[in-house]
Structure 1
Amino acid sequence: MNDLAYDIVSFDLDGTLVDTADEIAEAANRALEAHGIGRRPPQEITLLIGAGTRELMMRLLAHVMLEDTTLAHVVSIDGVLASFERHYAATAGTTARPYPGTLEALRRLQDAGLRLACVTNKEGRHARRVLEATGLAPWFELLVAGDTLPEKKPHPSVLQHVAKALGSACDRLAHVGDSAIDVASARNAGAAAWAVPYGYNAGRPVSEAGPQRLFDDLAAMAEHVLSTRRSGALA
C-alpha cells in the first residue's frame, strides 16, 4: 500500500520506543537471588525480552536448570515468577529511557494527524508504569498490552483490535517494532510491517524477519511518513 494511505502507526514498547533492558535484567536477577540462584549476565536476559515478562522468566529458568538440573527439584517456578513480578513492579520505569529521537518522532506524527498506539506483550501494569515514567503515555490514544486481550502478538487479533478501536482497518495501519514477533504480528493482521534495527530480537538482526521497511530509528521513520505525505500533497 502507498504510505499516504496509513492513518494509524502502532509501536512496540521494549526495544522500539524505550530501552528497558537494564531494569528487566535487574528484576530478573533479584528474583533469582531470592530463591538462592546466582545472578545471570544482563546480556543473557536481554536476549529473552519480547514475548512478555512471564515468558522471559520461564525461558530464563529453563536456561538455568539446563546448567544445574538439581534446581528443578528444589525451586518453585511459580515462586520465582511471583518474585519477579514483585521486583519488576519496583524497577519498572526506573532506568528506562526513550531511544534518541522518539519523543520528537511521536510529536511530528501526531501533529500530522496520525493515530498512535502502543502494542506490547508486556503486562499492562508494567507497560503503563514505563510509559508514564518516560513521559510517553500522553502520546498514545491506545495501549494494548500482553494481558489486554485473550491473545497477544503475533496473533492477528491484536492489531485487528487496534485498527477497530481507532476506527480504521489493518490495511491502513503500520506497525513498528524491533523483533520478528512484531514483523509477524503485522503480516498476520494484514498491516504494514516496519522495523528498527536496534532493540532485542533475541540477538538476531530484525532484517532477517523481512520487514517491508527498515528505518535507522524512529526519527527516520517519521521523516519518511511526513515527506511521503508532502510529496503526495504536491503531486
Structure 2
Amino acid sequence: MFDLDGTLIDSVPDLTVATDQMLVQLGRAPAGMDKVRNWVGNGAPMLVRRALADGFAEQHISAEQEAQALAIFMQVYGTGNSLTTLYPGALETLQSLKMLGVKLALITNKPEKFIPELLAEMQIAEYFEWVVGGDTLPQKKPDPAGLLWVMQQAGVTAEQCLFVGDSRNDVQAARSAGVACIAVTYGYNYGEPISAENPALVLEDLRELFL
C-alpha cells in the first residue's frame, strides 16, 4: 500500500499554483511553495484552511471561509497537473513489485475526483488494484480506515501488508492498522524529519526497498 503525494509524486508545484491563485482571488497574498509544502498531507480542505490562516491555526477559519476558498481551489487544481512529477525510482519500484506479483493499493488524502487523471498522466494507473482517496470513505489518514478496507478487499492480514508513505499521517494510520510502515525522507511531513515518527524503516529512495 502506497501513499501518493510526497511518496510517489511531487505535486507541491501544482498545489502551490492552485493555492496561490485561490488566495489572490480572495484578495490575499500568495503563500509560495515553501509554505505550501509544509501544509499538505491532510487533504484539500485542510490545505485551504491552513492557507487562509497562513499557518497551522486553521481552527480560526470559519466553515463559510473554507467553503468559498475550497471551491476556488478545486476549480483551479482541476485544470491540470503539468508541474507534477514522479519521484526518482517510483516507476521502477512499481514495475518491479508488479513483476514479483505483489498486489498494490494506493491510499491518499487527495480528493478522489483528481486521482484517475493524475495517475493516467503519471502513467502509473495500471499498477494499482485498489485506490482510496481522501473522500472515498468517511475517514481519511491518519485514520486507518483506508488500510483496513484495502486489507478486507484483498483478503489479507496486517502481517501480510506493508505501507509506504512520507508523513506522520501515514505512519500513524499504518500503526493503527497493525501494518508495518516504511517512510521516505524526501516527502512532506510538515517540515519535520519523518524519522521522528519511528517508522519501521526510513528510505532515501524507493528503490532501496529491494536492497
TM-score scaled to structure 2, two decimals?
A: 0.93
- The residue that corresponds to 1:105 in the other structure is 93
1:62-81 map, 5 Å: 62-63=53-54, 76-81=65-70
1:23 equivalent in alignment to 2:11: no
Over 3 Å counting, the alpha-carbon distance change for 1:64 and 1:190 in structure 2 is closer
| Contact residue 159 and residue 170 of structure 1 kept, 8 A | no
Deviates more, 1:18-27 or 1:148-157: 148-157
- The residue that corresponds to 2:78 in the other structure is 89
Letter in 2 for 1:27: A
In 2, Cα distance between the equivalents of 1:126 and 1:217? 26
DSSP 3-state at the match of 1:47: helix
| Contact residue 18 and residue 98 of structure 1 kept, 8 A | yes
Q: Give CA-to-partner distance per residue, 1:51-84, whole Å, 9 cap, x none.
A: 0011111111122798xx9xx79x9432111100
In 2, Cα distance between the equivalents of 1:65 and 1:167? 39
1:177-188 map, 5 Å: 177-188=165-176
Unaligned residue ranges in structure 1 (runs of 5+): 1-9, 225-235
In 1, Cα distance between the equivalents of 2:55 and 2:7? 28
Over 3 Å counting, the alpha-carbon distance change for 1:117 and 1:64 in structure 2 is closer
- The residue that corresponds to 1:47 in the other structure is 38
Question: 1:14 is matched with which residue: 5, 9, 12?
Answer: 5
Question: 2:102 is matched with which residue: 114, 118, 131?
Answer: 114
| Contact residue 160 and residue 169 of structure 1 kept, 8 A | no
Deviates more, 1:56-65 or 1:201-210: 56-65
Q: How many equivalent pairs are there? A: 208
TM-score scaled to structure 1, two decimals?
A: 0.84
1:57 equivalent in alignment to 2:45: no
DSSP 3-state at the match of 1:214: strand
Question: 2:121 is matched with which residue: 129, 133, 138?
Answer: 133
Q: Deviation above 4 Å: which 4+ runs of structure 1? A: none
In 2, Cα distance between the equivalents of 1:136 and 1:51? 22
Letter in 2 for 1:43: D
Rg: which structure is higher? 1
| Contact residue 121 and residue 145 of structure 1 kept, 8 A | yes
C-alpha displacement at 1:37, in angstroms? Answer: 1.1
C-alpha displacement at 1:40, in angstroms? Answer: 1.3
Deviates more, 1:55-64 or 1:189-198: 55-64
Unaligned residue ranges in structure 2 (runs of 5+): none
